[in-house]
Structure 1
Amino acid sequence: MPEGPESSPATSRRTLLCGAAAVLAAGGTVAVTGCGSSAGSSGASGAAKGPVDLGPASAVPEGGGKVFREQRIVVTQPTAGQYKAFSAKCTHAGCIVDQVKNQQIQCPCHGSRFAITDGAVQDGPAPTPLPAYTVTVEGGNLKVTPS
């Protein structure tokens, strides 16, 4: 009987440690994934097939831009009347960019910065540019088609 009590706690401890490791691993995945999922909708990166109407083009300032968080799209206007659209999902950890400031699209999670003209990485850790979308102005409204 001395073997039973000694082997049982070792097995329980091993099981507990493995379980804890699995929980921590899942928690880490949730933390990274959760960073980009706080918008609460599938947005443009989901099943959107056709153009998304984002409302008046006048809402996007010249030399700046606007983040449409719910749709996960950022639209910029580098020069008067020239609109660019990109995925608002950062290419580093999937966080949603939160603002366009100083002619840069800015991610709040790890400090990545992207150019308003082409979505190129200007400051990492993002490894690649923001994916570009097709944007048109129809009847004064922005229409964006995710690629």
Structure 2
Amino acid sequence: MTTERNIRTNFAFYAPEGDGGAWHTTLNSLERALREAFPDPVIALRRSGIRSMAVLDFEIEQAPDVWLVGTAALTEPDYPYITLTDVTADEAGPFAVWLRDGFAPAPDLVRSTSSLAMANGEDTPSPLPAEGGGDDITALLRRHLEAFDH
């Protein structure tokens, strides 16, 4: 019997390549969406020291005792992204579904990758399928991690 590894990494979610404005959103609208979707989130706006732009840091309770920590930068048309820090595929999957179905204006507008993939030389995010529930997306993210877990 094999036991599945519980790989922890950072997951990043992006708008479609070449269309940084596809999400038609701001940090303020992301903050509102997080507050509506998750109970008592901790949210802070700050200026990033790396690229000198406004970012939104958040901590949300996705399920009882399952906390996600993330950062978002929604600069258009540059490089809008939302990252989750130190999460498993099981934790990132439901957030990815919320992002795709509950935040992005259309389900075909979210791409994802992980720091594990990037550390192994793969720096091109892949589109999330426009369909599929939490179990499907979680399984997809697990397979993604397994492909780079050497």
Bin for the TM-score computed over the shorter chain: under 0.3
TM-score by length of 1: 0.25
**Higher share of residues assigned helix:** 2
Structure with the bigger RCO (C-alpha within 8 Å, sep 6+) is 2
**TM-score, scaled relative to structure 2:** 0.24
Q: Which structure: larger Rg?
A: 1
